[in-house]
Amino acid sequence: MFLFGHFSSSRPTELESAAEDFLRMFHAENPSADGLTARLRQVREEIRADGTYRHTEEELAFGARVAWRNSGRCIGRLYWRSLRVRDRREVRTAEGVAAECVDHLAQATAGGRIRPVVTVFAPDRPGRPAPRIWNDQLIRYAGRRKADGAVQGDPQNLALTRAARALGWHGGAGTPFDVLPLVIEAPGEPVRWFELPREVVLEVPLTHPDFPWFADLGLRWHAVPAVSDMDLEIGGITYPAAPFNGWYMGTEIGARDLGDRDRYDMVPEVAARLGLDTSTESTLWRDRALVELNVAVLHSFGEAGVSITDHHTESRRFLTHLAREEGAGRRCPAEWSWIVPPISGSATPVFHRLYDEPDLRPGFVRRPVPSALRNFDRRSTVNHHKSGHTPGQRRAAGAASPGGDHGRQEQRRQGARAQAG
């Protein structure tokens, strides 16, 4: 029964119901907070007067942490309570958002001891949308299609690179690892781009503990995976700009960003440098090269003193998190195809079970790509057709929020069902 119903003969609105669900959760998990009935009445009156309501700082911090706790595609949720929440709801301009994103990266990087951080900007209000960040992560590398159809840099970011160039960005130095600017859409302003200062973009050059030639590949990756294109939904309120980060699991870089055929596609090059027999798949040359890529990532981050974790350790930590959530009487969303690592899956304990996949709130929710950016994306797709690539080949895997194509996910789900059966 909704308490809002006691104050009016009309049925509670969807927002009122979502607000009450959240406030009851907040008070249940924070017993020291008092005044639930008074708070419910206050929120109802705000909604009836303005069509929305404002979270207290404590509610916002709790909601953001629970949103991480509810992220079914994230394996690293054991430390959800440690998420540092930066309340920047007063910021609505593109320039203000960009400045706070720079501060976010500085605080999250912490000299290499990566801290989980979320920065929450203004919420959507009735008739007044809030700013949005077009980048899927605060730090991304540009992708450019060359005359021969090949891509220099990250193919995942072809559309965003085109958009930034159209807005006036100079295009970087022309290397495979040119950091893209932030592209921010704020109501009442033209879409704007902002260069990230080099001092807040910590990058790790990749080397290998056993193969000196690996350094000659010129590979590198950034230290902070700050997802920035998802809505944070708390109690019916949407915060469309709420970049958040944890730290990397090595396979996100080594197996996906650098290993996927529709990303940097480094597996064939590493295999050639290793002198592997690539004439037949049965030599498992792809597997051997992929393992060495991941060895290099973990080794390099470790040598640089930058936080990272391996997929075996993180799998065990996730099961600890799962046990704690079950012990607290809570459902723990988890999508098997995202929780199981992209290499050596069956060697990790998360492989051998199924999980619940409820869509819980608070949560970080994927939203449609901005229509203006979709125009650049369609141009990129056309170019892929011309160069012999299919749209399926360009589906990307984000690091902190890995993508990957739905077919691969379904295959892995079927594998989990077979194991369970």
Residues tagged active-site: 74, 77, 247, 252
Whether residue 191 contacts residue 183, with contact meaning beta carbons closer than 8 Å, is answered with yes
Torsions phi, psi for 203 (to 5 deg): -120, 150
Quick one: which H or E segment has residue 339? helix 336-339
Tokens 């909604």 — which residue?
Answer: 47
* DSSP 8-state code for residue 393: G
| Identity of the amino acid at 353 | R
Burial of 212 (0-12, 13-18, 19+ CB in 10 A): exposed
Quick one: which H or E segment has residue 350? none
Strands (E), 241-390: 244-245, 248-249, 308-309, 363-366
Give the three-state DSSP class for 227.
strand
Structure tokens at 223: 């230290």
Q: Kindly report the number of other CB atoms within 10 A of residue 386's CB atom.
A: 10
Structure tokens at 18: 């979502």
Residue whose C-alpha is closest to residue 341's, from 412, 240, 237: 412
